[in-house]
Amino acid sequence: MIMKSTSIKEPGVRRQLLSAIAASLIATAMQGSLQAQAVSNRLFAENFDSLPLGPNREEALAGLEVWTGTPPSGWVLDNSAMPGFGTALDGIVEWAGWTFANKDWWVRAAGNQRRAEWAFGDNTVMIADPDEWDDAGHAKGLFNSYITLPAINVKGAAANSLVVAFDSTWRPEAFDDGGANWPVNETGGPINHQNGVVDASFDGGANKRVVDFDSDSQSPNFHKDIDFINESVVVPLNNPAGATTMNLRFGMLTAANDWWWAVDNIAVGVPPLLSSVTGNGVAVTNRIVEALGKTVNTAAGMTVSLNGKVTTPVEVTRELVNDNYPESERVFVSHTGTQVFAPRSKVTVTVRFTDNTGRVVEENGSFIAPGYLSVSTTPKVITAVLTDAAWMTVKDSAGVKLELNGASITATSVTRVDNTVVVRYVSPSLIPSGSRHTLKATYTTATGQELTETVGFTAATYATLSAELATAVGTGTEAGMNWRTHQLAAARPAGTVLSAAESQLAGALGASEHDASGEVGGIFKIDYVNFDQASAEAGNFKASGLGELAVNDEGIPGIPGINGGLDNIAGEVLTFVEIPAAGVYAMVVNSDDGFQVSVGTTNNVKSQVLGEFNGGRGSSDTQFYFEATKAGVYLFRLLWMEGGGGANVEWFTVNADGTRALVNGTQAGALRTFRRRTVAEPGGGSTTPLAFSSIVRNANGSITLTWTGGGTLQSSASIKGPWTDVAGATSPLTLTPDQASQFARVRR
């Protein structure tokens, strides 16, 4: 590699203003060299923004149009060396090999960890993230994935004239993951060695490595942590004379629980060429690569067209973005207007310039204008938030018009909160769990421009508690909860996943070494769940908390263990929760690492799963909802697990006014809990197995499903989900398929 560039310097530090061309100067330029026949120097360009994105699959952060594992047309994924690929043991499915996601969603889903510092990446980006992939159990092996671009026609290109340019964020790790879960060398040492590569081949010949990012500090190709977290790369392809086709492939190789590599704005051609187009609500910036001695003649004039219309004024700057490589410059051609682009619209861009040989070059690109509307839901409330930007302020006094699924609705309230306008709509009935909708908002800016924006969203999911699981209000006795701890001396072989925690609690992974001195009959009697392994502050309820949150964290019962250990813990709470009235309840578990909350009977404590996080994470909230159609006493179970490092868990509900209350806490609205019932267990918790007894295709094309054991019928377009409850479904059920393939399951 002979040329590369690191993150952009602060404005004005390395930038030299070359021109600010007013409309009259553009007209003059167009009379001259820019009237010549233009050529394009680009042979290939991809920014991934046209990829259709779908919902999250296994990541906890919900989103409707945020991710896809399907590359652009003509691209070929090779995940044959990914451990467990295509099976249940493939890690977090969103990151099992190279995939594509909305950059902002990826940053939030992964907890940032400096991913947000990638300024060059925009909208949809290509990602290899072994750090997130390893957050769920997978087969033993290292992350190895290749993706190959479509064949590029290079016929007629002079020898050694081509470059590839792309924007990159790279954070490496190496030689730190061994033990039973990862391949090791002959002495048992770790071999994980995160390696990012780009290979080129011509006319079907052998691959030649043109990019080699190494995580080994002893390698001459070492790409150091943090230094390359926001990099704009341009490298020569050394194309031979007479070549007609070229193939490029990107690889992320030999990684374990390491960091990431992500790529955007890939361009191939003869410099100078347009490498990327980015924009905000009123402005556009075109970045032009200069390399191999080929530069832009900025004195010859430059034009920018947006959606087919020449714009003025145009600002042209040149920036040296890497002091070590005098040729590694970018020419920035920018325009800032006064009218806001239609939110979430595709803006087409044409930039026209002259190179240092006198050739007139015209390149095309596009970007997606930002949106200002976000939507969240509870089972009865839709909340739309319009967020001001530096170039756009919502005129809240002009009102906001809403359409839900094409029908006009009237907002219940419209309130300005700092730089946002919060619009709430309270539905007269429960919104079906997990249902999909569109919300259209029409609003006015402070300058009088009317904007319309439509977003899709998935309604909050919730379970409806089976009334058969309840006994009457007042049938609980002995206030409190029963807690059980199990601790292993070593990590669970299957990792930090719920199935492994269940095996641990069942004793299948070995005897527990927790400190049992505080147990009574094998359990710890507790009042509520607000634990940290060191009794330190964690989560929401803590000594320094304000108001109802001022509750000291307690130590995890039985931890430290008899050998002083703080890791490899599984815990279980069984308690009878009194639901005082029918309605919808919001419940939250803050945990490090995963958890599951279920409701059932002593015969079947997992009759219905209400909420879970299946994997490892730092202290984080997961909120979920359930509907109770009958007041009463229900048996709840909280399963919690921890792998290594920090460990905490707290269990609480959220009141209608937003205040929080520990389950069985002293706060207002807290649900009361008991260790025993005063009556027999209800029959609804029987262990009758859930099973499809028949699936019949009818003559009219419909299908009749019959199943036993009650439960909730769910459907999905994929065997891996996401799964959506089929509202009101009872056995037998006749339905007409409306997709090419549909899958069904029944769960408690």
Residues 6+ apart with CB under 8 A from 691: 707, 708, 709, 746
H-helix or E-strand containing 499? helix 498-505
Domains of the chain with CATH codes: 4-41+271-368 (2.60.40.10), 67-269 (2.60.120.260), 373-460 (2.60.40.2450), 464-684 (2.60.120.1560), 688-747 (no CATH)
CB atoms within 10 A of CB 577: 21
Write the pLDDT tens digit of every residue in 266-279. 999 999 999 999 99
Compute the radius of gyration of the chain from its Cα atoms. Answer: 29
> 645 vs 636, which has greater pLDDT?
636
530 token code pair: 């607000």
- The rounded distance, in Å, linking the Cα atoms of 625 and 609 is 11
Average pLDDT over residues 666-692: 80
**Do residues 608 and 598 make contact, with C-beta atoms less than 8 angstroms apart?**
yes
Average pLDDT, the chain: 89
- HEC per residue, 114-183: CHHHCCCCCCEEEEECHHHHCCCCECCCCEEEEEECCCEECCCCCCCCCEEEEEEEEECCECCCCHHHCC
pLDDT value, residue 19:
41
Q: What is the dihedral of CA 403, 404, 408, 414, to 10 degrees?
A: -70
Q: Coil, helix or strand for 59? A: coil
Give the confidence band of 22 by pLDDT, cuts at 50, 70, 90.
very low
Average pLDDT over residues 566-587: 96
> 5 vs 539, which has greater pLDDT?
539
Write the pLDDT tens digit of every residue in 159-186. 999 999 999 999 999 999 988 789 999 9
CB atoms within 10 A of CB 111: 13
Give the confidence band of 28 by pLDDT, cuts at 50, 70, 90.
very low
Write the pLDDT tens digit of every residue in 434-450. 899 999 999 999 999 99
**Do residues 83 and 90 make contact, with C-beta atoms less than 8 angstroms apart?**
yes
Q: Taking 50 as the threshold, does the pLDDT of residue 15 lie above it?
A: no
Write out the DSSP string of 285-346: EEEEEEBTTB-B-GGG--EEEETTEE-S-EEEEEEE--TT-TT-EEEEEEEE-SSPPPTT-E
Residue among 165, 188, 194, 212 nearest 47 (CA): 165
At 271, give phi and psi (nearest 5°): -70, 155
- The rounded distance, in Å, linking the Cα atoms of 153 and 295 is 23
- The rounded distance, in Å, linking the Cα atoms of 396 and 17 is 38
At 548, give phi and psi (nearest 5°): -70, -10
Q: Taking 70 as the threshold, does the pLDDT of residue 421 lie above it?
A: yes
Give the confidence band of 700 by pLDDT, cuts at 50, 70, 90.
low
pLDDT value, residue 687:
38
